[in-house]
Amino acid sequence: KGEYDWHLSMNLVLLRLISFSMDYHYATLEKKNSNSTQDKSAAAKPTPEPTSSSSSSSFYAPKPPSYYKSLCATSHKLEIYSFPNLLSHAFYAPLFLAGPTITFNSYMHHCLPPSSSSQTTTPTVELPDLRHKLVYTAVTVIGVCYLDVLLSLVHPFALLRSGWSSKLSISESCGVTWFMLAGMWLKFATLWRFARCWGMWDGVEPPENMNRTWNNNWSIAGFWKGWHSSFNLWLRREISAP
């Protein structure tokens, strides 16, 4: 449809601004309550879940949700919530266009040393090793090539927009719809994996979207958690948890 409009990315920027505000609010409450009683400090914000001490044996398998939840729930020192860090998180280049979504606390845990960033017990940031990065980069490149081949040989989106889909039989319409959903999954998976791969090489590992294929689900909840798992973690942190 032409050039990419700049305002399309403002929705994700708004999510990052909300994340900064809420994480700063939680950190302020923790700091205030830590001066009075420890019990109130524990009740001010959800307790971070323990992280996994051992990394996955697979080079490509994503980390468990508890790992990212612990990074999201652990606050930093109040001086970390500054305007330059806000801009760095809101306009972080690898994740600016389409995500995946990452909270401010999790982002700063990747950017700062553990000893200088957190005002509580700091979770261990498990950065991927070189072999993991190379394997993930290869998977991303294969996805880009496969998407290019798919769009060159199969044209479900053009077929639907042309209006010819209404003239197809039921079986043909089902086939076009299946290819359209598969193409949408591959398109978003390639986009998010490219952004995540860029972030991994930069030292920031956001949550993995598209943990499974679109048709490998048995419920709507499983489909949503696998389709946009990073946004699901953001919702549970910023919307459900408060």
Question: pLDDT for 13-70, tens place per residue?
Answer: 898 999 999 999 988 988 888 766 554 444 444 544 444 434 443 444 556 667 777 8
Among 72, 91, 73, 109, which residue's Cα sits nearest to residue 16? 91
pLDDT at 181: 82
How far apart are the C-alpha atoms of 202 and 42, rounded to whole Å? 34
How far apart are the C-alpha atoms of 235 and 8, rounded to whole Å? 20
- Do the Cβ atoms of 62 and 207 come closer than 8 Å? yes
Structure tokens given for 217: 């689900």
- 139 vs 153, residue with greater confidence: 139
Question: pLDDT for 199-236, tens place per residue?
Answer: 999 989 888 888 777 777 777 777 777 778 888 888 88
How far apart are the C-alpha atoms of 80 and 168, rounded to whole Å? 58
Q: Whole-model pTM?
A: 0.76
